[in-house]
Amino acid sequence: MRATPLDNLSPEAIEFACTMAMRLDQIIPWGRTRAEYELMFNLSPDELRERTLDCGGGPASFAAEMAAAGHSVVAVDPIYAFSGQEIKARFEATMETVLTQVQATPEDWTWSYHRDPENLRANRIAIMERFLADYPAGIANGRYVVGELPALPFPDQTFDRALCSHLLFLYSDALSAEFHVQSVRELCRVAREVRIFPLLNLKRELSPHLAAVRSILPQGGWSSQVVTVRYELQRGGNQMLRIFQA
């Protein structure tokens, strides 16, 4: 994937590089907390105790926080091919560009969980610190695995639940309907249930690939439902897709 000047990217497009890029100069590390995951994916206390895959999690603190609480989470992302110091340096080099983009598009954001751009900055710094503190042990313990959709390095039904945040549907202009279909089939292969957030694309419109994904699910014995959740940063982006065995 060719490097793209940051000034030409929206904040959400910048986040996309964190998941899909294979070179460090293309990656913008941007993670989220366990509390955000609980809200984005409507996770119950019982569900948190099950085997969870964080697909495309990047430098989120979710896996670290869950491990500290004794829960089983594996995060998979191409970013884990790099060292903690490399990820940190890239975060520090690019954070201001991300926040400048946020401040320049106030109509695109809802300040509920995060109070304002400065609070968003503070939260993302804290997340990075928590991730980095866990990263060496997490790599050694298999908590952070190098990989990406649509082919994941796990046996069938390894997980009770696969979570995919800010990748599928959001980048509908960059990722084809076929990529979405293949990726969802792969997530269904490795987990008994799949949850994807958000359902909007970068234009804050419902992804045109959502219908294609849902249409193929019954062929594999899967059902789906759109669920409104209690998390919203991208304005209007407060729904997830829940996929489960019929």
Check residue 30 and give its pLDDT: 85
Beta bridge mates, 228 = 239
pLDDT of residue 202: 85
Q: CA dist 23 to 3, 19, 78, 106, 165, Å?
A: 8, 11, 9, 30, 21
Q: Cα separation of 124 and 70, whole Å?
A: 23
What is the structure's pLDDT at 225?
98
- pLDDT averaged per 10 residues in sequence order, the chain, 246 residues: 36 42 64 97 98 95 98 95 93 89 92 95 96 98 96 98 94 93 98 97 94 96 98 96 95
Domains by residue range for the chain, with CATH: 6-245 (3.40.50.150)
Q: Is the dihedral angle over the CA atoms 170, 171, 177, 179 positive or is it negative?
A: negative
pLDDT at 27 (0 to 100): 67
pTM beyond 0.85: the answer is yes
Query: Quick check: 54 and 31 in contact, CB under 8 A?
Result: no
- Contact between residue 37 and residue 163 where contact means Cβ atoms under 8 Å apart: yes
Centre a 10 Å sphere on the Cβ of residue 44 and count the other Cβ atoms it contains. 10
Which pLDDT belongs to residue 98?
85
Q: In which order are the strands placed within the sheet that holds 222-228?
A: 144-145, 73-76, 52-55, 159-165, 191-197, 239-245, 222-228
| pLDDT for residue 26 | 64
